[in-house]
Amino acid sequence: MSSQTIKEVDAVVLGAGFAGLYMLHQLRSKGFSTIVYEAGDGVGGVWYWNRYPGARCDIESIYYNYTFSKELYEEWTWTSRFPEQAEILRYLNYVADRFQLRSDIQFNTRVTAAHFDEKQHKWMIHLNDGQYILTRYFITGIGCLSAANVPNIQGLQQFNGKWYHTGHWPHEKVDFTGKRVGIIGTGSSGIQAIPVIAKEAEQLTVFQRTPQYTIPARNHAYEEDFIKETKKNFEAIKRSMRNSVSGTPFAQNQQSAMEEPDDKRQAVFEKAWAQGGFAFSATYHDLLTNEQSNEKAAEFIRSKIRQIVKDPVVAEKLCPKYMYGTKRQVLDSDYFETYNRENVLLVDVKESPIQKITGEGIQTADNHFDLEIIIFATGYDGMTGPLFKIDIRGRNGVSLKEKWKDGAAVQTYLGLTTAGFPNLFMITGPESPSVLVNMPIAIEQHVEWIAECMHYLREHDIDLVEPTIEAEEAWSTHCRDVANATLYVKGDSWYTGANIEGKPRSFLIYLGGFDYYTKYCNEVAQNNYVGFKLMKLKSIS
């Protein structure tokens, strides 16, 4: 390390998305000097990077926003039910300006490493420009899906055309007009992009490994009266989201799908299909715990695919056979209809695997497909991937990657902290409800808890907070027990890490319900942070 003067702050926050922006706002209001580092040249996080055609949120806009400020909620008007990426990005820029956050955000800066210095009892943060910064608290707000997965397919470097990953889309428009385009991947990103690209490209070839259960989003513009009513009901909406299982104001039907007569169940599914959005997954409480109920939902969606897609061979290839919901249920706009277009071709790569990428396109076991553009909609190394991209080292120089290495289960306390890494907080970290809750609401809960915790520590002259091994073992066991009672763990998806070659399989999302989780976290705080070691430097040295 050089002898340069090292800047020091109370808190370093990583990422200027929903999490980082609100964390900064909270810490400032409590008088902590804070700096946010952001790799991009603007705010937005996932909504800054995911600019691919068709990108939109799958949570309704009136719920997919901050609730910490009534004024903000009243000032901002969403235009449609499921907001487009550009609109969400505008919203987050508005928030950054509204609360004058930019002055404490350093853009175009990547944190490469964060090491806990045991002599100073502080974190030394290493930046990509060679600078260092010292901080008492280190807080990650880097999301669960920011480490893009570009599969290691032989020959990509030889490809003469252009290629893109959906999560690192260029800022300028990619023109597909008159082009032969190939897209690999049919998760949420691929399913949103395919119908839009198909309208522009000369030919779109979809390389599908696993078909998906997707429900029509039924997006529409909002009416003025509806928005007025929503704003009027802000407090009630906020309360119901914050006290709910999923961070949205929707109650789940408490009935089992198997208790319902066939005709009634069919009518319930039909209604949810017509309504669009996530209503379908809330039709019965046991779709993800009872295999028979699950199969009823799965078969309903397959029947819809067979109705929509005209070519029965293509329709059958598009019918998923795995358990409904064990991969994230997708919302789409005209996805299955797109396969009725003459310029769209479906290639089943389980039947005929991709062998290599050539200068001119993609070679599968049976065919060569000439392409000018290849799009990787191949997802992310979820949950731990973003954290592992940074060399985070706690006590004794042990890295997070080593602590959670191959097969050794990830262990956290509350999905927020981990033993051996004092004063590290992970917003929406592994083993918290994160991606199975409406994210802005999950983020607000974490941010407020962290800020309160830091305030408490300062008020009590406590310098370090770190979970005990016992507390984190108990939390991780509870987390696994809850997950193991569901069908989620049986799926091969980024939820379980099965999408990344060699990644140990583990389900790292807390499924006990957002309401229960919030109550639990609050009780930990009210009981003087039970499960944490609270350390005063005076008594350490």
Taking the least distance from each CB to ligand NAP, the nearer of 135 and 493 is 493
Taking the least distance from each CB to ligand NAP, the nearer of 362 and 392 is 362
In whole angstroms, the minimum distance from the beta carbon of 206 to ligand NAP comes to: 10
For ligand NAP, what does the binding mask look like between residues 403 and 422, x meaning CB under 6 A? Answer: --------------------
> What single-letter DSSP state applies at residue 313?
H
Q: How far apart are CA 409 and CA 412, in angstroms?
A: 10
DSSP string, 190-226: HHHHHHHHHHHBSEEEEEESS---EEE----BPPHHH
Closest CA to 293 of 316, 270, 325: 325
Phi, psi of 73 (to 5 degrees): -60, -40
Would you report the helix, strand and coil content of the chain in percent, each value rounded to 5? 35, 20, 45
Using the contact rule CB under 6 A, the part of the chain among 37-45, 185-193, 291-299, 515-523 near ligand NAP is 185-193
User: Which of 189, 203, 411, 506: binder of ligand NAP (CB under 6 A)?
Assistant: 189
Site for ligand NAP in 58-97 (CB under 6 A): 58
Residues 418 and 472 sit within 8 Å (Cβ to Cβ): yes
User: Which of 378, 411, 423, 518: binder of ligand NAP (CB under 6 A)?
Assistant: 378
User: Which of 34, 61, 135, 186: binder of ligand NAP (CB under 6 A)?
Assistant: 186
User: Which of 17, 143, 182, 187: binder of ligand NAP (CB under 6 A)?
Assistant: 187
Residue 430 is a binding residue for ligand NAP (CB under 6 A): no
In whole angstroms, the minimum distance from the beta carbon of 149 to ligand NAP comes to: 7
Residues 235 and 70 sit within 8 Å (Cβ to Cβ): yes
Q: How far apart are CA 317 and CA 235, in angstroms?
A: 46
Measured CA to CA in angstroms, residue 392 lies from 217, 383, 421, 451 at distances of 39, 15, 9, 21
User: Which of 17, 44, 185, 195: binder of ligand NAP (CB under 6 A)?
Assistant: 185
Taking the least distance from each CB to ligand NAP, the nearer of 3 and 152 is 152
* DSSP-based three-state secondary structure for 367: coil
Residue 151 is a binding residue for ligand NAP (CB under 6 A): yes
Residue 435 is a binding residue for ligand NAP (CB under 6 A): yes
Taking the least distance from each CB to ligand NAP, the nearer of 383 and 435 is 435
Taking the least distance from each CB to ligand NAP, the nearer of 320 and 422 is 320
Q: How far apart are CA 266 and CA 257, in angstroms?
A: 10
> What single-letter DSSP state applies at residue 380?
B
Closest CA to 82 of 216, 191, 198, 186: 216
In whole angstroms, the minimum distance from the beta carbon of 469 to ligand NAP comes to: 31
Burial 309-329 (b: 16+ CB within 10 A, else e): beeeebbebbbbebbbbbbbb
**What does the block give as tokens for 417?**
């902290």
Using the contact rule CB under 6 A, the part of the chain among 7-15, 51-59, 280-288, 403-411 near ligand NAP is 51-59
- For the chain, the residue count is 541
In whole angstroms, the minimum distance from the beta carbon of 56 to ligand NAP comes to: 6
Using the contact rule CB under 6 A, the part of the chain among 250-258, 359-367, 378-386, 446-454 near ligand NAP is 378-386
Taking the least distance from each CB to ligand NAP, the nearer of 145 and 297 is 145
Taking the least distance from each CB to ligand NAP, the nearer of 34 and 61 is 61
Closest CA to 508 of 496, 516, 499, 517: 496
Site for ligand NAP in 349-368 (CB under 6 A): 349, 354
Residue 434 is a binding residue for ligand NAP (CB under 6 A): no
User: Which of 184, 357, 419, 511: binder of ligand NAP (CB under 6 A)?
Assistant: 184
In whole angstroms, the minimum distance from the beta carbon of 437 to ligand NAP comes to: 12
Applying CB under 6 A, what is the total number of residues that bind ligand NAP? Answer: 27
Fill in the amino acid letter for 192: Q
Q: How many C-beta atoms surround the C-beta of residue 198 within 10 A?
A: 23
For ligand NAP, what does the binding mask look like between residues 296 and 335, x meaning CB under 6 A? Answer: --------------------------------x-------
Q: How far apart are CA 100 and CA 512, in angstroms?
A: 36
Residue 531 is a binding residue for ligand NAP (CB under 6 A): no
In whole angstroms, the minimum distance from the beta carbon of 494 to ligand NAP comes to: 5
In whole angstroms, the minimum distance from the beta carbon of 107 to ligand NAP comes to: 24
Closest CA to 169 of 48, 6, 254, 16: 48
Phi, psi of 479 (to 5 degrees): -60, -45
Measured CA to CA in angstroms, residue 7 lies from 21, 51, 113, 232 at distances of 21, 34, 16, 45
Residue whose tokens read 């309903």: 300
Q: How far apart are CA 302 and CA 213, in angstroms?
A: 8
Closest residue to ligand NAP, Cβ-based?
Answer: 187
Residue 499 is a binding residue for ligand NAP (CB under 6 A): yes
User: Which of 57, 95, 133, 301: binder of ligand NAP (CB under 6 A)?
Assistant: 57
User: Which of 143, 190, 385, 430: binder of ligand NAP (CB under 6 A)?
Assistant: 190
Closest CA to 388 of 205, 224, 219, 147: 147
Question: Which residues of this chain interact with ligand NAP, rule CB under 6 A?
Answer: 56-58, 145, 151, 166, 184-190, 192, 207, 209-210, 328, 349, 354, 377-380, 435, 494, 499
